[in-house]
Amino acid sequence: MTIKEIYKNMSYGPAPESASAANDFLEAHNKTFNLYINGQWKKPLSGKYFDSINPATKEKLANIAEANDADIDAAVAAAKKALPKWTAIGGHQRARYLYALARQIQKHSRLFAVLESMDNGKPIRETRDIDIPLVARHFYHHAGWAQLRDEALKDYKEIGVIGQIIPWNFPLLMMAWKIAPAIAMGNTVVLKPAEFTSLTALLFAEICDQIGLPKGVVNIVTGDGKTGAAIVEHKDIQKIAFTGSTEVGKIIRRATAGSGKKLSLELGGKSPFIVFDDADLDSVVEGVVDAIWFNQGQVCCAGSRLLVQESVAEKLYKKIRARMERLRVGNSLDKSIDIGAIVAPVQLKVIEELVKQGVDEGATLWQPSWACPKDGYFYPPSLFTDVSPSSTVAQVEIFGPVLVAMSFRTHKEAVKLANNTRYGLAASLWTENINLALDIAPQIKAGTVWINCTNVFDAASGFGGYRESGFGREGGKEGLFEYLKPKIEDTFSDKPITHNKGKITGKKAKADKKTDKLNGVLTGIDRTTKMYIGGKQARPDGGYSTVIEGADGTAIGEVSTGNRKDIRNAVEAAHANSSWNGKTGHSKAQVLYYLAENLVIRRDEFANRLVQMTLQSKVEALKEVDIAIDRIYTYAAHADKYDGNVHHTTHRNVTLAMPESVGVIGIICPDESPLLGFISTVIPAITMGNHVIVIPSETAPFSATDFYQILETSDVPGGTINIVTGPKEELASVLAKHDDVDAIWYFGSAKGSENIELLSADNMKRTWVNYGKYRDWRDKQQAEGTTFLQHATEIKNIWIPYGA
Amino acid sequence: MAKTKQKKGVSKPATLPRNEGMPFDATIFEGININRSAVERRAATMGKRRSVKKQWQAAWLLKAVSCIDLTTLAGDDTRSNVSRLCAKAQSPVRQDLLKAMDMADAGLTVGAVCVYHNLIRDAVDALTQSNIPIAAVSTGFPAGQIGLEEKLKQIELSVAAGAKEIDIVVSRALVLNSDWQGLYNEVAACRKACGDAHIKTILATGEIPTYTKVAKASWVSMMAGSDFIKTSTGKESVNATIPVSLVMIRAIREYHELTGYKVGFKPAGGIRKAKQALNWLILMKEELGDDWLNPDLFRFGASSLLGDIERQLEHHVTGRYSASYRHPMA
């Protein structure tokens, strides 16, 4: 086109970013990449390589090694060997290495950006202006945490060898999110990039070499799902960090169940993008562009469900369509495009099929008038209207540039629609009314809520999901705990710890023997121990009771035999009343102090019960009651003090990291320490606003059932604490399989722990189990404190940009 | 959006229907809320999402030249420097460069010459061989702190002296006190006084505390019949910025959707570099469309911008970085 022609039509021309340096890098490796293990490039023992393709041109970029089990063994061995020294060099030395990595990434930022853009198909603007700067920022930020760990987190230590598996949508950024906190905290890593996008991780391996990172601290092994499985199953790996699909996340949860491997999973989403009628609609349109047409919509936290207040819906749709018409799709290295290529044909096919399904189900599809280029895997920006929550496209994660739009009438309905999903990764809400924004943000089930912005990230802020979007946080102080463990865990025992004088000889009686056994016991007025559900004493659904034997083997009473329906009722009761959750820290504290006060009054009675159920002396039993009172005080004290942070993130932005209650928690109490085991678990959970279903000690349930009388007299709203007695493992399984339970805490055997983790995978419950390692419930260090509160909360980051 | 069919020749008088305005109606704009952070985010990424290179860059820079209101607004302006400015306005780019770009016959001039009232006569004398309009700043420019009667008188005198465009300043007090009816009345009166001359209304956005007020002032100015809305006088401490321009041109877009009238936009003050000019052109194309990439609907208020563009054009032609002394001064 001549200048004169362009002068007339004012068109855009091609504006290609040069690929020459990236091509030089590929050539320098003869377009073949091996495994980076123990600081060396090693040929894969599998002998196999697979292709890496540029999805914007369909050209092959390189051969990538495929690691097999033996390769993973070698990588894990290298990481294990490197661990002691890496830990021993201390925070400051590690900080220096992380700082060097950050600097080196900045120095080669354009090479990383171009290579990433070629490998993934995303626009060079995004890799250059967003991905790579965030990568450098992540290493800088965590260099700081390395420096500060020994002082700021002195009760914690590194976990060990970490296996990390990352997705293809933000290859280098996800690598940074994984590696930076892991090595900063003193761990060593084996990381597998996604098979579509290995190249920038391999370039990063070179950088590790250049700065002289000790061998084996970072190992990069390439491969597909099989390689990932080998990492997940490796016995010498102490933690798996995974970002990817919910489907694979569940597989990993099941595969690692009971292994004691720590797990953080950052999974899929169908994040709501909520627009209220007072929002700045033109800015909303740009928000939508950033939400769903960023990275071709291949973003786990993409704002893919547009929820608009009915009064402005049509106006907004019109503006969005006009904006879509101006979006440009093309080669990822073109500096004048908005949308690049879909990562691979298989992903393109998924998008095409889901869009077709949306159309078939009656939703209205709108796409711009222009056509996508044909030389790569492209898909046009797409908008579905006339969508209802029951449409497939409104429920499933499309992972493409496809937006579905629905309208709402009221604020309440907006929240309901927003939460009408299995996912809970992020949300974006748009209003100029701060009252409305701060009212809605806490009601959305999502780890990140962006107010009047979207897809904004920073290393100082934690990112992660609720519900089936996974668990754990990446970034911020909250993210560090994913790569640390409390030092105190090393002191846990292999056997239950009691303070009994001897061994309990009695064994649990069978229900059918109860008549004989009870002969002579019920000398006074018959006392019925019921369950406690929804603030009321409840008879068991099955109509059975179980005899409980005392320490000396004689029957001391009967307890209701709970079944799955009692669990169902308890979960419903826990959801029915939200008044406890809505209380201020101060009023929760008052109720907790009142609980303690009432327990003091009945100190002697509770001690006698303990003597009856265990082999404790009265003196020891009184001690247990006194510690329980002390413990309630601790959490009453925390009720208005365990709070959040304001993170230093982007310019003019208040980023609130708020600990929120997890929701409904199932708590399976330890069998030992009947009273303290109950108090030490239930009280921290409710202190943070959770509602709980408690299964007390199976062998010694009466401390818990006696306690409901205290609950009744202490202003604890009904439904806050629900107690179901009966067969522990059976009831625990019902809880673990219940989809309306958000988390489960289990204190029991290794086998029971495994069962809980396995069954919880289906709805991605947060689990906290003891793997058959036992606390001394009397020991403040082991059985009390912020670890309990951490498990009782999830951190929600609320981003509030400001400026008049 | 309906596309206008008229082809706009370079520096031809506008054939676009003028904005006739509309009755004052506060309900149309009182619900406006502009989110500053979101606007700034869009503004910051605008120039990163589009890039024009090679012949596209040259053509776009030539287009920028055609949209410049070549300006001198100094106390020491005299006939001699205004004459020089006018000569430059008629021949803004060296002939050999235009020839190399095959643009010698395109009749390239700047969009207008912009001066104080006292210099209108001199500009008229200097521009006899061209139809470049003369724009005069008016109404107590730059502060606007004179009575309405005097403002109207100034306009009438400038129009009588030969100005085809009048750049008025609004009374900041009306904006600061949200006296929108008052602002409407003032601008409407000025529009009337302009007669056939086009009216460009300067909001002095650097002195308006919020983007929301900028948007409302834009609406009121358009309702009152402004042909252009303009960011700044060039004399405020903060002048044209991309974010404030974004707010104003979004108002232009909505006004067009409501009334069918296309109102022009003029950023002024602080635009000195070719790269900045490209960013503004990208902004106009992306947010308003190609119709706003012509001097009928888009102007830069600038004095030193042209010099930088000339150097970039020479670089395009020769591949060598240029020096300012190689280009005839204004």
pLDDT higher than threshold 70 for residue A686: yes
Which pLDDT score is estimated for A525?
A: 66
Chain A residues with CB inside 8 Å of B49's CB?
A: 125, 336, 338
Q: Taking the mean position of all CA atoms in its chain, how far away is CA A711?
A: 32
Among the listed residues B74, B68, B67, B110, the one whose alpha carbon sits nearest the alpha carbon of residue B235: B74
Asked if A6's CB is within 8 angstroms of B51's CB, the reply is no
* A369 close to B (CB below 8 A): no
Number of domains present in the structure of chain A: 3
- Residue A511: DSSP 8-state: G
* B143 close to A (CB below 8 A): no
Which pLDDT score is estimated for A499?
A: 85
A246 and A206 within one domain: yes
Q: Are A257 and A754 in contact (CB under 8 A)?
A: yes
Asked if A15's CB is within 8 angstroms of B51's CB, the reply is yes
Q: Any idea how long chain A is?
A: 804
In this prediction, residues A566-595 reach a mean pLDDT of: 96
Evaluate whether residue B6 is within a structural domain.
no
| Per-residue model confidence as pLDDT tens digits over A471-485 | 999 999 999 999 999
Asked if B103's CB is within 8 angstroms of A4's CB, the reply is yes
Chain B residues with CB inside 8 Å of A453's CB?
A: 37-38, 41
A310 and A443 within one domain: yes
* B176 close to A (CB below 8 A): no
Which pLDDT score is estimated for B13?
A: 46
Confidence of residue A804 (pLDDT cuts 50, 70, 90): confident
DSSP for A202-244?
HHHHHHHHHTTPPTTSEEE----HHHHHHHHH-TT--EEEEES
Burial class (CB in 10 A: 0-12, 13-18, 19+), A356: exposed
In this prediction, residues A539-558 reach a mean pLDDT of: 91
Per the structure block, which two tokens stand in for A212?
A: 């002289």
Q: Which of A290-294, B1-5, B322-326 comes out lowest in average pLDDT?
A: B1-5
Among A12, A131, A282, the strongest candidate for a mutation testing the B interface, having the largest count of B CBs within 10 A, is A282
| Per-residue model confidence as pLDDT tens digits over B203-244 | 999 999 999 999 999 999 999 999 999 999 999 999 999 999
Q: A550: which strand partners? A: none
Give the B window 291-330 contacts with A, CB below 8 Å.
293
Evaluate whether residue B12 is within a structural domain.
no
pLDDT higher than threshold 50 for residue A516: no
Question: HEC string of A414-456?
Answer: HHHHHCCCCCCCEEEEECCCHHHHHHHHHHCCCCEEEECCCCC
- Average pLDDT over chain B, rounded to whole? 95
Chain A residues with CB inside 8 Å of B48's CB?
A: 125, 129
Report how far residue A203's alpha carbon sits from residue A422's, in angstroms, rounded to the nearest whole number: 37
Q: Is the peptide bond before B142 cis (omega within 30 degrees of 0)?
A: yes
In chain A, which residue's Cα lies nearest the Cα of B63? A7
Where residue B90 sits, what CATH number does that domain have? 3.20.20.70
Evaluate whether residue B225 is within a structural domain.
yes
Per the structure block, which two tokens stand in for A582?
A: 């809505």
| Per-residue model confidence as pLDDT tens digits over A10-41 | 999 999 999 999 999 999 999 999 999 999 99
pLDDT higher than threshold 90 for residue B130: no
Evaluate whether residue A777 is within a structural domain.
yes
Number of domains present in the structure of chain B: 1
The shortest CB-CB distance from B56 to any of A13, A278, A652 is to: A13
Asked if A129's CB is within 8 angstroms of B106's CB, the reply is no
Q: Are A647 and A456 in contact (CB under 8 A)?
A: no
Distance from first CA to last CA of chain B, Å, rounded? 39
Question: HEC string of A550-597?
Answer: CCCCCEEEEEECCCHHHHHHHHHHHHHCCCCCCCCHHHHHHHHHHHHH
The shortest CB-CB distance from A3 to any of B50, B102, B250 is to: B102
Where residue A358 sits, what CATH number does that domain have? 3.40.309.10
Q: Tokens 């209650």 label which residue?
A: A661
- % of chain A exceeding 90 in pLDDT: 95
A407 and A365 within one domain: yes
Chain A residues with CB inside 8 Å of B210's CB?
A: 804
A715 and A767 within one domain: yes
Asked if B103's CB is within 8 angstroms of A3's CB, the reply is yes
* A155 close to B (CB below 8 A): no
Evaluate whether residue A261 is within a structural domain.
yes
* A356 close to B (CB below 8 A): no
Evaluate whether residue A804 is within a structural domain.
no
Confidence of residue A551 (pLDDT cuts 50, 70, 90): confident
Chain A residues with CB inside 8 Å of B250's CB?
A: 282
Among the listed residues A462, A465, A461, A450, the one whose alpha carbon sits nearest the alpha carbon of residue A798: A450
A149 and A78 within one domain: yes
Q: Are A419 and A444 in contact (CB under 8 A)?
A: yes
Evaluate whether residue B329 is within a structural domain.
no
Among the listed residues A269, A249, A251, the one whose alpha carbon sits nearest the alpha carbon of residue A421: A269
Evaluate whether residue A554 is within a structural domain.
no
Chain A residues with CB inside 8 Å of B293's CB?
A: 10
A304 and A257 within one domain: no
Q: Is B291 a catalytic residue?
A: no
In this prediction, residues A82-109 reach a mean pLDDT of: 98
Q: Is B230 a catalytic residue?
A: yes
pLDDT higher than threshold 50 for residue B7: no
* A803 close to B (CB below 8 A): yes
In this prediction, residues B283-308 reach a mean pLDDT of: 97
In this prediction, residues A644-664 reach a mean pLDDT of: 96
In this prediction, residues A528-533 reach a mean pLDDT of: 92
Q: Are A732 and A746 in contact (CB under 8 A)?
A: yes
> Residues with Cβ < 8 Å from A766, sequence gap 6 or more?
A471, A662, A742, A743, A744, A760, A791, A794
A235, A267, A299: which is the final residue of a domain? A267
Q: Tokens 């709203």 label which residue?
A: A717
Asked if A335's CB is within 8 angstroms of B102's CB, the reply is no
Say which of B167, B227, B291, B308 is annotated catalytic: B167
Report how far residue B310's alpha carbon sits from residue A108's, in angstroms, rounded to the nearest whole number: 34
The H or E element containing residue A665 is strand A664-668
pLDDT higher than threshold 70 for residue A2: yes
Enclosing domain of residue A70? 20-267
Which pLDDT score is estimated for A504?
A: 52
Which pLDDT score is estimated for A681?
A: 98
pLDDT higher than threshold 90 for residue A510: no
In chain B, which residue's Cα lies nearest the Cα of A324? B286
Q: Are B166 and B117 in contact (CB under 8 A)?
A: no
Which pLDDT score is estimated for B232?
A: 97
Which pLDDT score is estimated for B2?
A: 41
| Per-residue model confidence as pLDDT tens digits over A689-698 | 999 999 999 9
Which pLDDT score is estimated for A715?
A: 92
Report how far residue A79's alpha carbon sits from residue A426's, in angstroms, rounded to the nearest whole number: 34
| CA separation, residue A164 to residues A260, A463, A710, B156 (Å) | 16, 16, 47, 75
pLDDT higher than threshold 60 for residue A406: yes
pLDDT higher than threshold 50 for residue B9: no
A743 and A631 within one domain: yes
Which pLDDT score is estimated for A524?
A: 56
| Per-residue model confidence as pLDDT tens digits over A712-768 | 999 999 999 999 999 999 999 999 999 999 999 999 999 999 999 999 999 999 999
Report how far residue A536's alpha carbon sits from residue A543's, in angstroms, rounded to the nearest whole number: 17
The shortest CB-CB distance from B35 to any of A4, A6, A283 is to: A283
pLDDT higher than threshold 50 for residue A785: yes
A536 and A388 within one domain: no
Which pLDDT score is estimated for A577?
A: 85
| Per-residue model confidence as pLDDT tens digits over A633-652 | 999 999 999 999 999 999 99
Say which of B88, B164, B230, B262 is annotated catalytic: B230
| Per-residue model confidence as pLDDT tens digits over B242-260 | 999 999 999 999 999 999 9
A331 and A224 within one domain: no
Confidence of residue A528 (pLDDT cuts 50, 70, 90): confident
Which pLDDT score is estimated for A184?
A: 98
Distance from CA of B81 to the nearest CA of A (A): 30
Where residue A615 sits, what CATH number does that domain have? 3.40.605.10
- Average pLDDT over chain A, rounded to whole? 95
A570 and A453 within one domain: no
Chain B residues with CB inside 8 Å of A278's CB?
A: 31, 33
pLDDT higher than threshold 60 for residue B6: no
Structure-derived torsion over alpha carbons of residues A453, A456, A458, A464, reported in degrees to the nearest 10: 100
Evaluate whether residue A610 is within a structural domain.
yes
Among the listed residues A99, A587, A7, the one whose alpha carbon sits nearest the alpha carbon of residue B58: A7
3-state secondary structure of A793: strand
* A129 close to B (CB below 8 A): yes
Confidence of residue A501 (pLDDT cuts 50, 70, 90): confident
Asked if B293's CB is within 8 angstroms of A4's CB, the reply is no
Evaluate whether residue B194 is within a structural domain.
yes
* B101 close to A (CB below 8 A): yes
Q: Which pairing describes strands A382-385 and B264-266: parallel, antiparallel, or unpaired?
A: unpaired
A464, A488, A513: which is the final residue of a domain? A464
* A278 close to B (CB below 8 A): yes
> Residues with Cβ < 8 Å from A152, sequence gap 6 or more?
A145
Distance from CA of A203 to the nearest CA of B (A): 26
* A322 close to B (CB below 8 A): yes
The shortest CB-CB distance from A10 to any of B37, B53, B290 is to: B290
Chain B residues with CB inside 8 Å of A5's CB?
A: 59
In chain B, which residue's Cα lies nearest the Cα of A284? B38
In this prediction, residues A621-638 reach a mean pLDDT of: 98
Evaluate whether residue A470 is within a structural domain.
no
Which pLDDT score is estimated for A500?
A: 79
pLDDT higher than threshold 70 for residue A523: no
In chain A, which residue's Cα lies nearest the Cα of B292? A10
A386 and A290 within one domain: yes
Confidence of residue A388 (pLDDT cuts 50, 70, 90): very high
* A12 close to B (CB below 8 A): yes
Among B35, B62, B103, the strongest candidate for a mutation testing the A interface, having the largest count of A CBs within 10 A, is B35
A275 and A204 within one domain: no
Phi, psi (rounded to 5 degrees) for A142: -80, -20
Among B41, B216, B296, B314, the strongest candidate for a mutation testing the A interface, having the largest count of A CBs within 10 A, is B41
Which pLDDT score is estimated for A527?
A: 72
> Residues with Cβ < 8 Å from A515, sequence gap 6 or more?
none
pLDDT higher than threshold 70 for residue A518: no
In chain A, which residue's Cα lies nearest the Cα of B208? A804
Say which of A17, A116, A300, A482 is annotated catalytic: A300
- The CA angle B140-B141-B142, to the nearest 5 degrees, is 125
A267, A289, A323: which is the final residue of a domain? A267
3-state secondary structure of B164: coil
Q: Is B262 a catalytic residue?
A: no
Chain A residues with CB inside 8 Å of B285's CB?
A: 10
pLDDT higher than threshold 90 for residue B108: yes
pLDDT higher than threshold 80 for residue A497: yes
pLDDT higher than threshold 80 for residue A432: yes
Enclosing domain of residue B291? 26-322
Per the structure block, which two tokens stand in for A352?
A: 């095409």
Distance from CA of B298 to the nearest CA of A (A): 14
* B36 close to A (CB below 8 A): yes
